[in-house]
Amino acid sequence: MPSIYPTLITTFFIALGVILGGSTLGALAAFLSTQQPPLYTILELAEKLKIWALVTALGGSFSAFKAIEVGFLSGQPAEIFKQLALITSAFAGAHLGYLLLKYSLGGN
């Protein structure tokens, strides 16, 4: 059985990258097109992108939940725990990205 740790680490950093990159580039686009303040826009976008970072890091919104359903129906608790660990890793990466932006830009 292959190790899950590389997948957890990859999932974490994909979600982190979606938040950091998406909110930074989105704020740049908002500034160039509408002259909105970029620091406020970065935090606003980071908060809105959290759910999409999870979906991106998991590779689609239904595959993880389908695997959990199959684990319940076939009685494979290891598969359920694996998918829950992946969801937790993706959430942790997205939330860390949000917190990094929030505290580095002076948010409370």
DSSP per position, 65-105 = HHHHHHHHHHT-HHHHHHHHHHHHHHHHHHHHHHHHHHHHT
Q: How many CB atoms lie within 10 A of CB 68?
A: 17
Higher confidence at residue 97 or residue 2? 97
Residue 33 has a pLDDT of 93
How far from chain centre, in Å, is Cα 103?
Answer: 18
Rounded-to-integer distance, Cα 72 and Cα 50, Å: 27
* pLDDT tens-digit readout, 38-66: 888 999 999 999 999 988 888 865 676 77
Domain residue limits, the chain: 5-104
Written as six digits, the tokens of 67 are 């695997």
pTM: 0.85
- In the predicted model, what is the mean pLDDT of residues 81-99? 93
Upper half-sphere CA count for residue 27 (Cβ side, 13 Å): 19
Residue 100 has a pLDDT of 95
